[in-house]
Chain A
Amino acid sequence: MSAHVLSTTAGVEDVVAVIVLLSEFAMLRAPLLRSQVRLYAFQSLAVSALAVVVAATRHVGDIYVLAGLSFLLKAVIVPLVIMRLLRDVDVDLVGSSKLGVASSTLVALAVSIFGFFSVGSLRVRGAALPTTTLAVASAVVLVGFVLIVLRSDVVSQAMGFFSLENGVSVASLAIAAGLPLVVELTFLFDLLVAVVAFGIIMRVHHGRSKTLSTDELDRLRG
């Protein structure tokens, strides 16, 4: 494979990774639960597109299967399921964030800078290792954590968790594209289990307390 093809792939990987990171930021700012789910669907679409590009340029046929499955699951089924749950619970706005919009964006910026810094200071080198993509992917994971920590409603926390998984997908596609299909599929099934679990939590929690906010849970005592 020529260096030209490799560098083009790395360029595309960087672009997609940054798109994923920016949609993560947008999720942090999204005022509606629905728009958060839509952003997640868009983010998953970007990750699936990255998988197709990686499959085409590195000639790994398995990844096409992975791309198709991840598109079907993450960009279609999960958003549809969550949207359906949202229609039932009749709550539109995201739960109040523990910080204001500006401060939470600043925290996310600082955290993603830390992500870049940590990967930069690892000093791992390698011709085949796209460290920049890895850095963006780790920033995505960290911002996903920020989303989970700062937002106090079930849907935001679920979306934060799912998009965190998207960050991991980007990293695994960039680093180990040849990872056996079985391992990648296990990731996806993990996600499926998480969707079911979060769906049940949403239903039960909303059924008991008529709200999606997790602040209520603080008062539970054993």
Chain B
Amino acid sequence: MTLASAVVAPEGVQALQVLTILLGAPLVSGAIAHVEARLQGRRGPRILQPYYDIAKLFQKETLVTDQASWVFLAAPVVAFACYLIVPLLIPVLTTYPLPLGYMGDILGGGFVLALASFSVALAGAESGAPYAQLGSSRSMTFGALVEPTILFVVFAVGLITSTDLPYALASTVRSSSEIVRPGHVLAAVAFFLVVLVDTGRIPVETHTGTLEFGMIDEARTLEHSGPALALLKWGSAIKQLVLYTILINVFVAPFGLSSSGTPLSVAGAIGALLGKAVLLGLVFAVIDNLFSKLRLFKITEFLAAAFGIAVLAVVVFYVGPA
């Protein structure tokens, strides 16, 4: 058997999915930051800068406030583990489902992500610092408002595919016999807005600022330091890439994935995923530069708009033409 016709074992591909997300996430973040700086007329950090940041933070000492309990230190690890579970459930590299792929559906993945953000918020509240608590409170409040949108997007996916598995929706997009329906497009747009909120981008949050009053997700980690902060930063980069992967490989463009499992096609799929994620990141960077941040109390309006689109996506299936 030659190398070209050999097939990577499904378990191996699955491990590669996690590794791709784990090691590729800082690269995608760095590329976005670099492009964003260029768009603003700055030279910007190196594309590899997030790797250096994380490596530096791992060498620093960890400081813990007197009030904090073990939760404060356990939370970053729990969150990091949660972010690494999700790539097992979604189509990262392959068109065919992998052994653990049916362990959880889209809702299951959502729950795991919610557990991660819950534990980070808990650690922020645990620190006793006012701004971290403010961030925790806000991120939970807006998280609760995003949840209905996610649910309706999942309903729309269920109506398109009659299942709630991400792999099934991706194959619907790929197959040429099925046309892309309006409900699908609306659900994808609603999910795009959800990604905008969950990755803390403009118009909801500035991710580069240092002003605590506008912070939501960023403020939660203000009290962490050293390896714990490194895990949180790395984790949020991973979360970003996971959400991008869901948007790209499930809703919008599930192309370039490996369908045979040969080493060459899997390597191509890794490159394709990172390339597509950087392209999507460019869109977010452009949005960052085009719009201004919404006032905190206007964010609910933004979320309501996303919810309206998601509801329309579901209703279209019931009342619209088949």
Give the dominant DSSP class at B's interface.
helix
State whether B320 touches A135 (Cβ < 8 A): yes
Listed residue (B178, B182, B308) with the most chain A CB atoms within 10 angstroms of its CB = B182
| Contact digits for B63-102, partner A, Cβ 8 Å, 1 yes 0 no | 0000000000000000000000000000000000000000
Contact across chains for B319 and A113 when beta carbons are under 8 A apart:
yes
The answer to whether B179 and A14 have CB atoms under 8 Å apart is yes
Chain A window 1-41, contacts with chain B (Cβ cutoff 8 Å), 1 for yes, 0 for no: 00110011011001101110010010001000000000000
Contact A15–B320 (Cβ < 8 Å): no
- Chain B residues with CB under 8 Å of A18's CB are 182, 185-186, 189
Nearest neighbor of B177 in chain A, beta-carbon distance = A7
Residues of B within 8 A of A25 (CB): 305, 308-309
Please state if A15 and B180 are interface contacts (CB–CB under 8 Å).
yes
In the complex, per-residue mask of B173-185: 1 if CB is within 8 Å of any chain A CB, else 0: 0001111111001
Q: Which A residues are in CB contact (< 8 Å) with B177?
A: 3, 7
- Do A101 and B301 form a contact, CB below 8 Å, given A14-B182, A112-B312, A136-B182? yes
Residues of B within 8 A of A135 (CB): 182, 316, 320-321
Is B296 located at the chain interface by the 8 A CB criterion?
no
Interface-forming stretch among A85-93, A114-122, A153-161, A208-216? A114-122
B321 & A14 in contact (Cβ 8 Å cutoff): no
Q: Say yes or no for A185: interface residue by CB 8 A criterion.
A: no
* A contact residues, total (Cβ < 8 Å): 32
Write the nearest CB–CB distance from A130 to chain B, whole angstroms.
8
Task: Kindly identify which residue among B179, B185, B301 contacts A7, using a CB–CB cutoff of 8 Å.
Answer: B179
B304 contacts chain A at the CB level, 8 A cutoff: yes
B304 and A102 within 8 A (CB): yes
Count contacts between A and B, CB distance < 8 Å. Answer: 75
Interface extent on B, as a size class?
20 to 34
CB neighbours of A119 from chain B (8 A): 320-321
Cα–Cα distance between A136 and B305 once the two chains are bound (Å): 18
Are A120 and B321 in contact (CB-based, < 8 A)?
A: yes
- State which of B185, B189, B304, B322 has its C-beta within 8 Å of the C-beta of A105: B304
- CB distance B180 to A116 under 8 Å? no
Interface flag for A131 (CB, 8 Å): yes
Q: Which residue of B is nearest A4, CB measured? A: B176
- 8 tightest CB-CB pairs across the interface, nearest first? A131-B321, A11-B180, A116-B320, A117-B319, A18-B185, A10-B179, A120-B321, A11-B179
Residues of A within 8 A of B (CB): 3-4, 7-8, 10-11, 14-15, 17-19, 22, 25, 29, 101-102, 105-106, 109, 112-113, 116-117, 119-120, 122, 131-136
